[in-house]
Chains A and B, each alone.
Chain A
Amino acid sequence: MNKSTSQGNDKLLIDVGSTYFKVSTADSIEQHFRDFNKDILDDLVHRCGDTIDRFDKDDVHICSSANGGLSTLIIGVTNSFSLKYATNIAFNSGINIIDTILYQNIEEYSIPSDLVDVVIIVGGIDSCAGIFNESLYNYLSQLNYSNVVFVGSEQDAPVLKQNIENIAILPNIIDNKLHIVEEHLKEYLTNLYQQDIEGKEDIKNLYDITANQIYSTPYIVNKTLPHIDARYSVVDPFILLDIGGATTDIHYSKDLVDDNLVTENEYDRMVFKKLGVYKSKQSLIFAAQNNEFVYELLMHLKVTENIFNEQSEKATRILMQLAIFLVLCKISHYRKAYINLKLLAINSIVLTGGITKVLTTEEIEDIVSFFYKKILTSDHKPVVVLDTNYDIWTLGAKG
């Protein structure tokens, strides 16, 4: 077939999410709700076949978060160092963390029944030896996993290699000053993620329409952040919330973390896996019902708890407003996540994803100000910026 209009800098950018897919050309951007009875490629061709046909495979760039990403379980020896460092690296590599295990209590943890894509074992600086023993091997023998990697003390590496089949050994992520060393584990996880995307049948089919590598969406977004001011007047420090159908991603300036984590990245990422307004709706409602301020927020929004049982546009709006509030709670001192951000120092909150098509700036500002008043007892008002046209994604996807 002749690709008549694919020329010069024209590119077709496609983002496949768990709920929507977005298709962007130089002149337009369209968004479609996915048909889950169809294969992703069939669905795409059905909705946007004409547009796709206009482009050469070389000019089509696709990113996806729809495959759910890789799951990891991290076993580390302390919360402040090994678990925190590995968690940070996993998030920045686009990996979902299903659990973290404090090694000294490993016998008290239940074994996840689902297949874990990668187990990360970490602990000890290189001069520390004999950290792990039989309890680790017992736990692993009951766990169903595809990959296992050790990034702890180099003195323990040979013992683990002897006792754990097919374990990958990488340099320690904790150096002798107790600082984080990211690069090796990050590269390993990013490669695994890439292989996973390429291996998933649904995604694999998408290579019929592109000759380029398919990237994970968080990778593309993170790439854009240093250039965000090319599109918006965003004042540092800022957070970017991507509230999607299944998960919520938070990308944040490193200035917002007052912590022992010293990395070279300007921005980090955190994921709340079960916080979304479509696929993860039930867990979002559950989280809301367990938050003591939510009923006050519902009153503020002039609705009752019955809204959770409704299937309407209004119910979706309320869920999205709740999602913003819950995410802010999760990264504040009110609900301690693995990292707390200095929310009083934020100058801008950027929102991207489907939420920008549903809520107005005023509605979001209202929730943000409710959060600051109730949780942080402050009148602080960061500027809300809506990425309505998915500029952040297109900027990153264009490379």
Chain B
Amino acid sequence: MKVVTGVVGNDIHVVANRLIDLSLRARGFEVFNLGVNTYLEEFFDAVVETGADVLLISSLNGEAEGWSREVKPLKAKYKNLDNLIMMIGGNLVVGSGDAEQIVPKYKNYGFDLVCHQIDLNTGLDWLEELIEKRNLK
């Protein structure tokens, strides 16, 4: 199964990005890592070019908030992304925030899985559960 991943916006947290890449590979995913400083359009375009099933966006400095507001309108411009699993993880707000408020907000932005300050392996377990639920494996 193919996953496109990367760090959104003007965010250079490369270590987390590398860990996500390694962990996904260890679980048998085919990973297309766009690295740091990636714009939203590049994420969706990479999904189209690779035929990926999952888009996993990471963010550590709170950049995600601004960018995520653009997810729905941008995704709507693409004609074949309805079945794409959208996942976001990391530190999704500037400073600290309450996950109970943050998770619904990001789901409303168009993400299926929202992992705010969640351990990486737990997040990837959730991803595998969702894939199984959707009978994609």
Contacts and interface: CB of A to CB of B under 8 A. Distances in A.
Contact of A79 (B34, B45, B79, B80): B45
A354 B98 CA distance: 64
B51 A81 contact: no
B129 interface: no
Given A178-B34, A178-B46, A124 B41 contact: no
Contacts of A78: 44-46, 48-49
A118 B80 CA distance: 28
Contacts of B34: 178, 260
Contact of B32 (A77, A82, A129, A178): A178
B113 to A, nearest CB: 23
Nearest to B49: A81
B78 A80 contact: no
A124 B49 contact: yes
Contacts of B79: 104
Contacts of A177: 32
Interface residues of A, number: 17
Contact of B78 (A104, A123, A124, A260): A104
Contacts of A111: none
B125 interface: no
A80 B46 contact: yes
Given A104-B80, A178-B34, A80 B51 contact: no
A343 B44 CA distance: 28
B78 A125 contact: no
B50 interface: yes
A303 interface: no
A128 B49 contact: yes
Given A104-B79, A178-B34, A128 B41 contact: no
Given A104-B80, A178-B34, A128 B50 contact: yes
A378 to B, nearest CB: 20
A81 B78 contact: no
A80 B80 contact: no
B7 to A, nearest CB: 14
Interface of A: 77-82, 104, 123-125, 127-129, 174, 177-178, 260
